[in-house]
Amino acid sequence: MKWITRERPKIDRIACPWLIKHFVDKEAEFMYVPAEQVKERAQAIGAIPFDIPDVEFSHHEDKCTFDYIIEKYSLTDPALQTMALIVRGADTDRHDIASQAAGLWAISAGLAYNIQDDYELLQKGMMLYDALYNWAKYLQKVKHTQNPVDHVFIDVYNKFIKQQSAQKKTPAWVKELKQIIQDQIDSNINLTQISKSLDINPSYLSREFSKHFNNLSFGEYIRKLRIEKAIELMQQNKYTLTEIAYLTGFSDQSHFTRIFKQHTGKSPSLYKKEWDKSKKDTKG
């Protein structure tokens, strides 16, 4: 069977081929293509698309594609269950659910940085998951450090980590996403484009967005920022309302007026008139 997914894999798109080759189909073949070509190419060659939005083999709720394959094929090996937590934590930036998740992300990101060919990256990545599987199956209880004094420090460190993990953490991608939005607020941006820049699954990004952006959806947050920028430009008194609509990324004047009124309760012209009047009154 042929399987196909988007290019430049890091976590799930290497972990899944490893899982399929070892536990589902030893003869499986894998292809990496640009994200926008996956479904079309899959249909053309009769391949199964995976780890992209709106297909069967993808993220579901808080679980990633690796989880879905385990459930789909009823794989009961306890070592795979251990691996699933690590892969999920690394792939969805939730390093608190498995202590090894941050390490898997770091190694995978570094491997992808060093190797530009996706198929060579897959080959090397297979070795990584062979090692992780053997650790999960045979070595989980083996301690690297045997010195009793070292164990005291490790115990203290582990307690500190647990305390830190108990606190709510903001994923690293949130800060990067805010910067991308600020830089492109006046352009026609969407979550699919941004997910490519962040190398995060679009479905996961859409689901998690509101948790870190004032309980607003992506569209609501973008409109809020655009209206705030529009108000700032109005107060500068340098631009016409038509120019402000263009500078803040609205498709036309009527769209700008409708969204502005939804957010402020006033039309742009009335808001600007009242602002100008308040400035004159202050000067007077």
Q: What tens digit of pLDDT does each residue of 42-95 get?
A: 999 999 999 999 999 999 988 999 999 999 999 999 999 999 999 999 999 999
Residue 121 · residue 10 · CB < 8 Å: no
DSSP single-letter state for residue 137: I
**Rounded Cα distance, 12 and 88, in Å:** 8
Structure confidence at residue 35 (pLDDT): 92
Whether the pLDDT of residue 179 is over 90: the answer is no
- Give the least confident one: 108-122, 129-143, 162-176, 254-268: 162-176
- Give the least confident one: 27-41, 81-95, 147-161: 147-161
Structure confidence at residue 185 (pLDDT): 66
Structure confidence at residue 6 (pLDDT): 95
**CA-wise closest residue to 260 among 242, 237, 277, 278:** 242
Whether the pLDDT of residue 130 is over 80: the answer is yes
Structure confidence at residue 194 (pLDDT): 78
**Rounded Cα distance, 183 and 145, in Å:** 47
Report the percentage of the chain scoring pLDDT > 90. 49
CATH class of 172-283: mainly alpha
**CA-wise closest residue to 9 among 91, 103, 82:** 91
Q: What tens digit of pLDDT does each residue of 265-279 get?
A: 999 999 888 888 887
**Inter-axis angle of helices 218-236 and 268-283, nearest 10:** 40
Structure confidence at residue 282 (pLDDT): 64
H or E element: which one contains 33? strand 29-33
Whether the pLDDT of residue 36 is over 60: the answer is yes
Torsion of CA 43, 49, 55, 58, to 10 degrees: 180
The pLDDT confidence band at residue 161, using thresholds 50, 70 and 90, is low
Question: CA separation (Å) from 13 to 3, 18, 67, 239?
Answer: 11, 9, 12, 48
Residue 263 · residue 223 · CB < 8 Å: yes
Whether the pLDDT of residue 8 is over 70: the answer is yes
Structure confidence at residue 165 (pLDDT): 53
Terminal Cα distance for the chain, rounded = 79
Structure confidence at residue 106 (pLDDT): 95
3, burial (CB in 10 Å: exposed 0-12, middle 13-18, buried 19+): buried
Q: What is the average per-residue pLDDT within 4-22?
A: 96
* All structural domains of the chain with their residue ranges: 2-140, 172-283
Q: How many helices (H) and strands (E) does the chain have?
A: 14, 3
**Inter-axis angle of helices 118-134 and 101-114, nearest 10:** 150
